[in-house]
Chains A and B, each alone.
Chain A
Amino acid sequence: MRLGFFTIFGTLFGFVLSRGRVSDYDTIAGMFRLTDLHLFGVIGTAIATAGIGLWLIRRGGNRTVTGDPVDVRRKAWQPGVFSGGLVLGAGWALTGACPGTSLVQVGEGKLVAVFTVAGILVGTYVFGRLRSFGDRPGLASEPHPA
């Protein structure tokens, strides 16, 4: 039942991204061409508003409205942050979408976005597979039949 609340929030986020043209290919293209600065304004004011909101929550003792701890921490430093960022940025340029907006596009009826979503899912899996090489069964860990 609690999971349903998260779906409501996802719906709200998708709605806002759509209304704000963030899921529109031409908006992303305009940002990269510097002909439409709309998205810079959106990102900037989103960061500022979220910054104030999260700061107020921290100041209030990092508790939710019902008194539970708030599980929002700074993402820890990891070695791939910049390289991974570049790879994602390249994909962002090719698709005009990120993991969130590609899903919003599908809902809006922009059907070719299913290819973006499929690509992201496969890309996530492939990365996990490459990172799991050390412990894959079948090589050293599996006993060889005599």
Chain B
Amino acid sequence: MYEALFVTPWPWWVAGPAIGLVVTLLAWLLGKPLGVSTGYGVVCALGSRLSFFRAKEYDERWRLAFVVGLPLGGLIAAWLAGQLSPTLAFGQLDRLTHGSVAAKAVLLFGGGLLVGAGARWAGGCPSGHTIVGVAQGARSSIVATLGFMIAGFAVFNALYLVLGG
């Protein structure tokens, strides 16, 4: 039982419904829509006077409180699985970058820039749009998700085609 819950990765038919349940419980117990990327905007709003970050959603402190929990969840999951050992390795990306930490840093930081700017431009990320938005049948979320998937497939396969690995 412990093994299945905390050590073996969950199959999709457990992980997916568990995510949906978290979304539902957050709405039913605390009345809020699950979303992550706006929380990064809340951080920006704390340290900047730009008018963009004066919008109401960036004043919602609960978003920051929620986001702070994410690394904690990852930490607890890794710890309970007995796999908590900090590493510079990063899966198959190590093949692409020949294990160079500098190359990974550049790629991840550059990609992160696109993720951050794209999320604000699209008004959400794979949590708020793809899961919560599509679950509500929102047109904006369906279109945003198409964008995530189209560019994701194209850029990923182009990257490995060009750089190999």
Checking A75, A94, A134, A136 against B111 with a beta-carbon cut-off of 8 angstroms, the contacting residue is: A94
- Within 8 Å CB of B9, what residues of A? 19-21
**Which residues, 86 to 145 on B, are CB-close (under 8 Å) to A?**
86-93, 101, 104-105, 107-141, 143-145
Least Cβ–Cβ distance between A7 and chain B, in angstroms: 4
B77 touching A81 by the CB < 8 A rule? no
Checking A25, A94, A100 against B91 with a beta-carbon cut-off of 8 angstroms, the contacting residue is: A25
Least Cβ–Cβ distance between A125 and chain B, in angstroms: 5
Measured CA separation A86–B23 after assembly (Å): 25
A106 touching B74 by the CB < 8 A rule? yes
**Which residues, 94 to 130 on A, are CB-close (under 8 Å) to B?**
94-100, 102-113, 115-129
Given the interface pairs A25-B92, A93-B156, the reply to whether A10 lies near B65 with Cβ below 8 Å is yes
A90 touching B136 by the CB < 8 A rule? no
B162 interface residue per 8 A CB criterion? no
- Within 8 Å CB of B164, what residues of A? none
- Within 8 Å CB of A50, what residues of B? 19-20, 23-24, 131-132, 135
Task: Give the residue name and chain of the A residue nearest to B114 (CB).
Answer: A91
Least Cβ–Cβ distance between A107 and chain B, in angstroms: 3
Measured CA separation A41–B65 after assembly (Å): 29
- Which of A40, A85, A113, A127 has the most B CB atoms < 10 Å from its CB? A85
Checking A47, A54, A123 against B114 with a beta-carbon cut-off of 8 angstroms, the contacting residue is: A123
Least Cβ–Cβ distance between B156 and chain A, in angstroms: 4
A129 touching B110 by the CB < 8 A rule? no
Residues of A within 8 A of B (CB): 2-26, 29, 32-33, 38-54, 56-57, 64-65, 68-78, 80-100, 102-113, 115-129, 131-132, 134-136
**Which residues, 1 to 32 on B, are CB-close (under 8 Å) to A?**
6, 9-32
- The tally of residues in B whose CB lies under 8 Å from a CB in A reads 122
Given the interface pairs A15-B76, A46-B16, A109-B84, the reply to whether A93 lies near B131 with Cβ below 8 Å is no
Least Cβ–Cβ distance between B10 and chain A, in angstroms: 5
Can you name 19 extra interface pairs (CB under 8 A) apart from A24-B91, A123-B116, A136-B50? A14-B72, A18-B74, A42-B15, A46-B15, A49-B23, A64-B28, A72-B132, A72-B136, A74-B141, A83-B122, A90-B152, A98-B37, A98-B125, A99-B37, A108-B84, A119-B113, A122-B112, A123-B120, A129-B52
Checking B83, B92, B111, B159 against A26 with a beta-carbon cut-off of 8 angstroms, the contacting residue is: B92
- Which of B37, B108, B109 has the most A CB atoms < 10 Å from its CB? B108
Measured CA separation A24–B149 after assembly (Å): 17
Measured CA separation A46–B149 after assembly (Å): 17
Measured CA separation A110–B85 after assembly (Å): 9
